[in-house]
Chains A and B, each alone.
Chain A
Amino acid sequence: MAVRKNQAHLTATEKRRLVDALLQLKRNGKYDAFVTTHNAFIMSDTDTGDRVGHRSPSFLPWHRRFLIEFEQALQSVDPSVTVPYWDWTVDRTPSSSLWAADFLGGTGRSRDGQVMDGPFAQSAGGWPLNVRVDGRTYLRRALGAGVAQLPTRAEVDSVLAMTTYDMAPWNSASDGFRNHLEGWRGVNLHNRVHVWVGGQMGTGASPNDPVFWMHHAFVDKLWSQWQAMHPGSPYLPTAGTRDVVDLHDTMRPWNNVTPADLLDHTRYYTYDTAA
């Protein structure tokens, strides 16, 4: 059983093995397939049409399944590796160890946003950006430039306190936990973190930055925390909702897994601390 750890607590060996596994997935082409899938869903998920990966109730189970698949790909390279989570309420500055040269590398230089250090810098040679929305083939970031502050723990807690999972119209206009966590409404948690990192993380091809997985692993952990706080609050909607993945509907692109199958993360992995 995989144990997902706080990235801040990884040993030097754990960091190195994760980085090596990421670089191997990039080399064998599997990594870019995940970027392609994410961008396809983000461009086709619309508030008034079919929506699966984003701006909908299935945002959380879709990304849970996406991360499980990615974690399995990592483990096909190195069985010891799991996806760590980035608690951006704690590690909230560009000087965090997350952004050190022995892990993800730091922010981009001002001239062109290019990340200049770490294993994913263009100069390191192992991280070409093949699936992209513009001509630039190098990893970019602008930590803290698009928005000054990452969400605080108090802001997270205000969203975790919401008792209803999701509400009609089941999109970016919804009230409830899911849309406040996703960030289209209210204090803005998940979306704001993408904007804070900047570079490719602000685009539809955001998985080009390896921090994507650690960001979403923490969003996923917050969903588990919310479930523990509100054991009587179910995934919604339950049936018969047009354009939306109901509790027992299968989700694209897998077509063999439903939100109901993904509600309990302990079937797939656990955390280093109680969710």
Chain B
Amino acid sequence: MSRPSRPSRPTRRQAIGVTAGTLAGLALAGTAHASTSPAKTGHEGHGAPEAFDEVFQGRRIQGVPGAGHMHHGGGYAVRIDGQELHVMQNADGTWISVVNHYEPFATPRAVARAAVVELQGAALVPLA
């Protein structure tokens, strides 16, 4: 399914979020080694995809294998400006998040980017 293209220039609110998120993101620096683990395709099961860390439309998005919110059984954490985005892997290897819960994406990075578009600069609420 195609999504509408939206302006990529960060809003003032988004820029503020990046500043705050950079500090929170430092806590993840020690997990950078995870990026050397090979990415797996969905049909190989529930092995974690590789880590990522980038700025997308003014928000810092990060993916960290092995750091998922344990209450929900996740083995992979996605953060937007340092705040965890609840994600889930489907049986076919695709991913969804609590922000885009009915629309599967191929990778955690794609689900993080979709959440950034959907949030339009808003901050995530901490997971319960």
Contacts and interface: CB of A to CB of B under 8 A. Distances in A.
Contacts of A44: 71-72
Contacts of B73: 46, 48-49
B119 A134 contact: yes
Contacts of A195: 1, 100, 102-103
Contact of A43 (B72, B89, B103, B120): B72
Main secondary structure of the interface of B (DSSP, over half): loop
Given A147-B1, A184-B90, A48 B46 contact: yes
A169 B45 CA distance: 14
Main secondary structure of the interface of A (DSSP, over half): loop
A184 B89 CA distance: 12
A42 interface: yes
Contact of A134 (B2, B89, B99): B99
Given A43-B72, A112-B120, A204-B86, A135 B103 contact: no
B106 interface: no
B122 interface: yes
Interface residues of A, number: 38
Nearest to B71: A44
Interface in A121-140: 132-136
B1 A43 contact: no
Contact of A202 (B99, B125, B128): B99
14 contacts: A46-B73, A134-B99, A134-B123, A135-B122, A145-B3, A145-B4, A146-B3, A171-B91, A191-B102, A192-B102, A195-B1, A195-B102, A203-B100, A206-B101
Given A172-B90, A203-B98, 4 more contacts: A46-B73, A172-B92, A191-B103, A203-B100
Interface of B: 1-4, 46, 71-73, 86, 88-92, 98-104, 118-120, 122-125, 128
